[in-house]
Amino acid sequence: MGYIYNGSINISDTTVKSIYLDLLTAANELELSELTENMQEYLISHEADWIRNNFFKIFQITEKSKPFTRLENFCQEIFNTNPATILDSDGFLELEADFLISLFKRDDIVLDEILIWESVIRWGIAQIKLNTDVSQWTNRDFIRLKKAVKNLIPHIRFFNISGMDHRTKIRPYKKILPKELKEEIKDYFFAQVPPKKFCKLPPRATKSELNESVANILDHLTITSIESVLMDISGFCQIAAWIDDNSEPYLPTDIPYDFSLLFRGSRDGMTNARKFHEICGYQGATLIIIKIVESNKILGGYNPDDWICDSSWTTRLNSFIFSMEKNGGTLKNVISRIKDPKHAIWNSAGNPGFGSDLQCF
C-alpha cells in the first residue's frame, strides 16, 4: 500500500523480495504501469536466479497479463534454454491442467515433442499417485491415468514424434490413448496415411527459427546460467556496460557480446598458469573472474586484447579491474580503470595479471 500512497518502493530491499509475486499480481490488477515496468526491468537485470527458482509461478502470472510481455518473453527463453530441466522440476507437478494446456498449445517452445509426452505422463502419475513402474499397473490404473491426462492429449503433436520413440516411450502407455488416435498413428507411420480426425500440427519452433532478438537472449542465458558458476546474468550486464564505458548496466536482451568459457580453475587447475596460457593465449579479449573464498565478493579483470606468454608488459588503454559484492539485496560494484597504460598487462609465464594490482596465480 505504501507505493499507492507515496509512489515509491525500494524493489532491491531484501524485505521486499519475499513479496515480489504479490507485487507483480497487484501491479497488474491495479494497472500500475510504472511499477509494472520497473519490476520487469529490475527482475530481468538483477534477479534472474529468483525468476528461475519461481519460474512456473511467474510464468502463470505473466502469461495472463499483457503488461508483462518482457517478463513473459524472458521466462519463455529460460524455458527454451533448458526445457528438460524445468519440466523435471517438482514445481511442474503442481501445475494446473489449464496452464499446461496453454503451455503445450504454443508453437514457440523449443522442445522435442517426446519430452512433452514424458512430462504429461509424469504429471498424470503424480496427480493420481500411481506407482511409476507401468508393468505393475492394473487396467484400473490405466483408466485413472487416462482420465487425468485426457485434456492434455490433444495438444501433444504425436505425428512429430519419431517411430522409435513411439515404440519405446509411447507404446507402454497406449491404453490411455483414444482408439481413433492409435489407429491414425499406426496408419501414418506404417502406410504414410495422413491423419483425418486428429490434425497433424506443425513442428514446434527450433532455436534457429527464432528471431534474432530471441536467439540473442537464448545465447546469453546459456552463458550465464550454465557456463558460469560464479556470476549471474546481472554481473555480465554490468561488465558489458563497463567495456563500453556506459554508466548503466545493459538489460540481458541488449548485451552486445558473447561470453564463452575458456578456462575454469576447478577443472583446469587453480594454480596452473601454463595451462592458462595454453587455453587463453591469443584468444582476443578476455574476462577473468575470481571468487574470494567464504565471501560474496568477486574480483576480476578485463584484457581487451590477446594474452601472450613472453614475460613482458603490454600497453592497454581500455583494460580494467573490478570487484563485485552482494549483501542481501544490495549490490556493490567497483571498477578501476587504467592509470598507467604501459603497465596495464603483465604477461608473465608464471603469474599473468593486471599490472601489479591483480595477479591471477
| pLDDT bracket for residue 59 (50, 70, 90) | confident
Confidence of residue 212 (pLDDT cuts 50, 70, 90): very low
**Residue entry with cell 508393468:** 135
Q: Which residues make beta-bridge pairs with 44?
A: none
* Least trusted range by pLDDT, from 42-51, 57-66, 214-223, 304-313: 214-223
Cell 595477479 belongs to which residue?
A: 359
- CA–CA distance, 50 with 24 (Å, rounded to integer): 14
CB pairs under 8 A, 24+ apart, for 56-65? 56/86, 56/89, 56/91, 56/92, 56/94, 56/95, 56/99, 57/21, 57/91, 58/21, 58/24, 59/103, 60/95, 60/99, 61/21, 61/24, 61/25, 61/28, 62/24, 63/99, 63/102, 65/28
Pairwise CA distance, residues 286 & 301, whole Å: 8
* Residue 213 reports pLDDT greater than 60: no
Identify the pLDDT of residue 225: 41
Count of beta carbons in the 10 Å neighbourhood of residue 1: 6
Of residues 35 and 154, more confidently modeled = 154
Share of the chain above pLDDT 90, in %: 19
Res. 16 pLDDT band, cuts 50 70 90: low
β partners of residue 358: 354
What are 161-200's pLDDT values in tens digits?
888 899 999 999 999 999 998 888 888 888 778 877 776 6
According to DSSP, the residues that pair with 288 across neighbouring strands are 301
pLDDT at 345 > cutoff 70: yes
pTM value is: 0.52
pLDDT digits (tens, 9 = 90+) for 274-298: 788 788 888 888 898 888 877 778 8
Selected residue with higher pLDDT from 303 and 222? 303
pLDDT at 211 over 70: no
According to the model, what pLDDT value does residue 123 have?
A: 95
Q: How confident is the model at residue 215 (pLDDT cuts 50, 70, 90)?
A: very low
Band of residue 137 on the pLDDT scale cut at 50, 70, 90: very high
- Other CB atoms within 10 A of residue 83 CB: 17
- In this prediction, residue 326 carries a pLDDT of 67
Q: What percentage of the chain carries pLDDT values higher than 70? A: 82
Question: Radius of gyration over alpha carbons of the chain, in Å?
Answer: 26
Distances (CA, A) of 293 to 28, 230, 298, 300, 361: 42, 11, 9, 14, 15
Question: According to the model, what pLDDT value does residue 176 have?
Answer: 95
* Sequence-distant (≥ 6) Cβ neighbours of residue 19 within 8 angstroms: none
φ/ψ region of 355 (left if φ > 0, alpha if ψ in -120 to 50, else beta) reads left
* The pLDDT of residue 216: 44
Q: How confident is the model at residue 15 (pLDDT cuts 50, 70, 90)?
A: low
Q: Is the pLDDT at 122 greater than 70, yes or no? A: yes
